[in-house]
Each structure stands twice: as C-alpha cells, then as structure tokens.
Structure 1
Amino acid sequence: MEPLGPGLYAVDTAFQRDHFDAAFLVVDSGRAAFIDTGTRHALPRLLGALDALGLPRDAVDWVIPTHVHLDHAGGVGPLMAALPAATMLVHPRGLRHMVDPSALWAGALAVYGEEEMRRSYGELVGVPESRAQASSDEQRIAVGARTLRLIDTPGHARHHHCLWDEASGGWFTGDTFGLSYREFDDAERGAWILPTSTPVQFEPDALRDSIRRMMATRPSRMYLTHYSAVGRDAADVERLAALLLSQIDEMVAIASGLKDAPDRHAALKRELLAMFQRRVREHLGDRIAPTRVAALLAMDVELNAQGLGIWLDRLTRRG
C-alpha cells in the first residue's frame, strides 16, 4: 500500500507483476471507497489495506470500478461480499455485466483463453442487484466530507467513467489516460505514458475527447490503474496528455496504413513495438535496452494490436 496524499492510497493488486495494476482507496472522516479492485486474487490485499488503516469492513461506502475489464473489476463481486455497507457504482453500460458476469467471462475468454482466465482472473462473482447502482455523467458522491465527481469517458471502452477528486486535484482515470509503468520513469523528465486500445471498443475520436475533457480541470495529478500516480504538477500532466494524444494519432496512422496488409496482426505488433521503443528512447535515451522495452510492453503490444484490428474491421463494415 502506497500513500499518495491525505486520505489516498494505491494498493498493488499483484496482477501480472509488481507495480502493474493498482486499486485506489480513498478515506475521509472514517469513511472509505475503493476505486478499481484488480482481480478476485487481490481480495486479501484490499482487505489488508483496510486492516492496516484500522478501518472496519462497514466503513466502506462505495466500490467503484472505472470500467468492467477484469483487471479493473474482476474483484468487485468478492470484495462487495466482504463489505456489508458498500454500494457498487458502475457505468450504466457495465451494470448488467457486474450483476451477471457470464457474458463478461465469455468475452474475456475469447481474448485470453481458458488457462489464462483461470490463472490470472479466477472465478467471477456477481453483485446483488439491490447493492448495485449505475453512475450518471456529472454525478457527485460523498466519501466522508470528500466529494468525488464522475464523468462519462468513452474511447478506451464505452462502459468507462473517470472520477475527479477535488481534494487532491487529480483524476482516477482507469485506462482512459493510458498506461505508465514505473520502469520508464526518469528522475528529471518524469513519467512516460502510452495509450491503450485493448479490445473491443477502442474509438480514437471519443478517447481524444475524453482526455481533453479531463484536462479542462487543469489536473495536477492523474491516478492510473496501470500504474499509480503520475504528474508532478499541472504542467507535467499537460506534457503527459500531449504525449498520449500524439501517440493516439500515430497509432491510428499505423493501423490505417496496414488495413489491407496480408498478415495485419503481426504487422501491427511490429510497428507498434517499433513506435514504443522509439518513444521510450526519446524519453530515456539508451538507459533501457530495446529488448527490455519489448519484454515490459509485450502484453500491451499484443492487446493494442488486437484492439486496433477490431477498430479497423468496424470501420470497414461501416463502409
């Protein structure tokens, strides 16, 4: 558990590797909320965070997945079962999937396969409908005396919302503000960031709009599920946003140029990796080897290529 500021903690869920997947715990005046949960395997760490802070289980009022991809929401059902006073708050497009996760399981199974699903995610547990609530755009909720504001943020997924925390001047961004791994941090230049086009609802225009909507608040920090807090001040967050937007444009250009390639998926992976390796070199120089970049980003390159391919197919069907 990493303190990020007054009443705000990142909990490493241990999904895939250390410092890859975070859940956030917001605490104020003895009340609490979890934002994202990791998979069901994260449950001992999430409950352990409450224990470490001396918070009883019934102090948690909210469990809020930013969207229903399983590395963000797979642990919601088991966590809700352990928190008797909590309400789950999810984007309206994701509500039915959290109540009955069978379709969610089937969709993820098609992407990852049975063995990976069992190893990384475990069994999915539905949330009772009586304890589940759909969010609305510009909704505000209380965590003690602290207010969180939710907005609809499509682009990575249509079932995605982000949360503004006025107290810290930051957004809980799920995957809308991309991915930033601590291995790519530079002491002087700060964090490096990349977009995620994970299947199946990548929409670049909507994603750009969602990023710009968050940036309108002049945030000084961003709280990323992958991974933790980035941004030293408002200017640094502006730098990260510009980096994200430029990469979205480049990813779209790469995908469009490969639309009719004979082995499109392999070509997308090759070109995406080359782009990310070049971008990391621009940020870090030669301090990290291209082979290390490839290893750290292997899963993201694969999923980004899948998502871009699905986006291209959707454009083709539209004619």
Structure 2
Amino acid sequence: MLDLISHADGVHAVDSGYGRPQLAAIHIIVQDGRAAIVDTGSNASVPRVLGALAALGIAPEAVDWVLLTHIHLDHAGGAGSLMCALPHARLVVHPRGVRHMTDPSRLWDATCAVYGPERAFALYGRLVPVAAERIVPATDGLELKLGGRCLRIFDTPGHARHHVCIWDDSARAFFTGDTFGLSYRELDVDGRAFIMPTTTPTQFEPEAMHASIDRMLAMQPQAMYLTHYSRITEVDRLGADLHRLIDTMVAVAQAARGDGVARHVEILAGLEQIMREEAARQNWALNEDETLDLLRMDLELNAQGLGVWLDSQRVTAAETA
C-alpha cells in the first residue's frame, strides 16, 4: 500500500514499510521536474519508492540524487537495489560509508552482530553493492543542485561517525536521519510533536550529538524532516528537549552497575522510567503501557548503544592512564 504524504516546498514522505506503519520515512524532494531521494529504507522499500515517484509524475530517469543520511540499514539497506532502478542517479554518502556501499560485507556483519543473521536477513534481505563511479562522497559543505534548488551537506556525528544531514535552502529545513532524534506521530497531541534521542550502537557520542544539534539549530530551520517520522516544527523547543534527554540518558547509563546483561537490564529499566516521566510531563496521546510498547525496540537499541559507549569510555580512560 502506498502511503505518501505531501508536505510544503515540494517535499514528500513515503512510508518505507519497515517494521510498522510510520516508523521510517523516505523523503522525495521534487524541483523543476527532477527529484532527489533522502534515505532508501530496506530492499522491500524499493517498490514503495518507485510507486511514489509514479504517483508524483516523476520518471526513474528524472531522479538525480539518492542521499543517505547514514548507512544503518533501516536508512540505507535498499540503496543498491534502488540505484539499479534509477539509471541516472548518483548516490551521496558520507566518505566513511563509501566503501560499505561498494562492498557491503562488513556492514552486513555489523548488522548481524546486533540482530543475529536470521533476523537481519528477514529485515533487510540481501545487500546489493553500488558501482564506485556512481557514488559521490558527502563531504561537509558539499552543495548539490536539483533543478533550481540547492541542497547542502552538513557533517553531523553523534549518532554515527558516518552521519550527514541535508540542508534544503528552499524549504529552510534539514533532513536529519537520526541526529535530531525520533518523533513518532502516535504520540502527538493536537499536532504538538515530541522527541527522544537515539543512542543506538555502535558510535553514539553525546558531546558530538549535542554539537551537531546546535549546528543545525544555528541555521534557524523552519522544519526538520526526520526519518523516524517525517516533518516536525517548533524546532527550538524540540532541540532543547533533545539536549535535556541526551544528558538524562547518559546519566542513567553512567549510574548503571556491573557489566554485561545485568548492566544492560539496569540501563533499559532506567530508559523506560525516563519515558514514563516524559509521557507524564508532556501528556502524550498514548497511555504508559502503549507508549512503552511503541518505543520498545528503540529503547532496547538505545540501551545497547549506551552500553557500547560506556565500554568505549573505559577503553579510552585505560589508554590515557
């Protein structure tokens, strides 16, 4: 089923079909009969993207750019398959991600380490490599033309070191991947959105995430287009909430005792309590049980990422001792 939402300024969101409805958005920017696609979802998302292009009257030959915010597979797993269907498009990805697009074997191994091989294959299918000559490294400050529109790359680590956000000068908005957090429409109250950080494995770095958020806020965007899930406004309010919640989640992780499973369980319990308090503070639309059920996968991955970050801090401290 095609789930296409048309926003202002030629920006359209199509549900990737990943996981559940309105979990992961793929954005299509249309200008002067040309198109750019931001993030690709998984292999199973490709027919949805092609269907959305057809609904918008855009031929596959008119897609100039496929831009990846980062190479986690819920954002980039379908990149190779989609590029096969877009004969003139070029793939734009952080320089750290280029080799993983031309040879996805290490990316696949890392994904299997998080989900296990069977679950990873069920989620993402077989990864398709992209020819090197079709890839453009997304260096900081790179400007791309889409008809008369300018898209600019911002290097935005914190969620991952291979993360970029895309500034759309016409829309005065960023396409933020995961750097500007998660905001699910099921929690909205009278159109008022809420947000939470994503600290998923394996490259969460709180100070870098704070800096990336501030760098984006300095552009005074009118909106943010999140992969999870699409358009939000009231950007300053949500940015402040992100900063507060990053620090709160880090404090929970630092207070956790022990190692391994015991520590993970303690971190996860702490994250669940943060969400209970946030639901009460913000008067979210879902009740407590429904909220925790909606956020269950994200909280589990956040707890894993915070554990990896704690271990990296210990290694760094040992190396500098």
Query: Which category of TM-score, normalised to the shorter sequence, fits these structures?
Result: over 0.9
Correspondence 1:151 to 2:150: no
Which residue of 1 is the match for residue 273 of structure 2?
274
Offset, 1:115? 2.0
Correspondence 1:299 to 2:297: yes
Which residue of 2 is the match for residue 227 of structure 1?
229
Cα distance in 2 for partners of 1:259, 1:150 equals 40
Offset, 1:110? 0.5
The C-alpha deviation readout for 1:130-186, integer Å capped at 9, x for no partner, is 111111111110111110111100000000000111111110000000000001101
Cα distance in 1 for partners of 2:229, 2:66 equals 19
Cα distance in 2 for partners of 1:165, 1:113 equals 37
SS in 1 for 2:96: coil
Cα distance in 1 for partners of 2:296, 2:242 equals 19
SS in 2 for 1:93: helix
| Residues matched between the structures, number | 313
Which residue of 1 is the match for residue 176 of structure 2?
173
Aligned amino acid, residue 52 of structure 1: A
Correspondence 1:51 to 2:49: no
Cα distance in 1 for partners of 2:173, 2:258 equals 41
Aligned amino acid, residue 287 of structure 2: A
Which residue of 2 is the match for residue 27 of structure 1?
30
Cα distance in 2 for partners of 1:308, 1:25 equals 32
Q: Is the 8 A contact 1:200 1:310 kept in 2?
A: yes
The C-alpha deviation readout for 1:19-77, integer Å capped at 9, x for no partner, is 11000000101111100010010000000011111111110010011000000000100
Structure 1 residue runs without a partner (length 5+): none
Offset, 1:97? 0.4
Runs of 4+ in 1 over 6 A off after TM superposition: none
Q: Is the 8 A contact 1:261 1:267 kept in 2?
A: no
Q: Kindly report which structure 2 residues correspond to 1:166-315, keeping only aligned pairs within 5 A, or say none.
A: 166-187=169-190, 190-231=192-233, 236-260=234-258, 263-284=262-283, 287-315=285-313
Which residue of 2 is the match for residue 132 of structure 1?
135
The C-alpha deviation readout for 1:259-314, integer Å capped at 9, x for no partner, is 536710000000001101210221116x5221111100100110000000000000
Larger deviation, residues 133-142 vs 200-209 = 133-142
Aligned amino acid, residue 156 of structure 2: T
Cα distance in 2 for partners of 1:259, 1:108 equals 27
Residues 130, 288 of structure 1: alpha-carbon distance in 2 compared, 3 angstrom cutoff = same
Cα distance in 1 for partners of 2:83, 2:286 equals 41
Cα distance in 2 for partners of 1:277, 1:17 equals 22
Cα distance in 1 for partners of 2:236, 2:258 equals 35
The C-alpha deviation readout for 1:79-118, integer Å capped at 9, x for no partner, is 0000000000100011100111000000000100122112
The C-alpha deviation readout for 1:197-252, integer Å capped at 9, x for no partner, is 01000000000000000000111100000001011xxxx21000000000000011
Correspondence 1:39 to 2:42: yes
Cα distance in 2 for partners of 1:45, 1:195 equals 27
Aligned amino acid, residue 306 of structure 1: Q
SS in 1 for 2:7: strand
Cα distance in 2 for partners of 1:33, 1:219 equals 20
**Percentage identity across paired residues of the two chains:** 48
Q: Is the 8 A contact 1:91 1:135 kept in 2?
A: yes
Structure 2 residue runs without a partner (length 5+): none
TM-score between the two structures when normalised by the length of structure 1: 0.96
Q: Is the 8 A contact 2:257 2:266 kept in 1?
A: no
SS in 2 for 1:151: strand
SS in 2 for 1:150: strand
Offset, 1:6? 2.8
SS in 2 for 1:124: coil
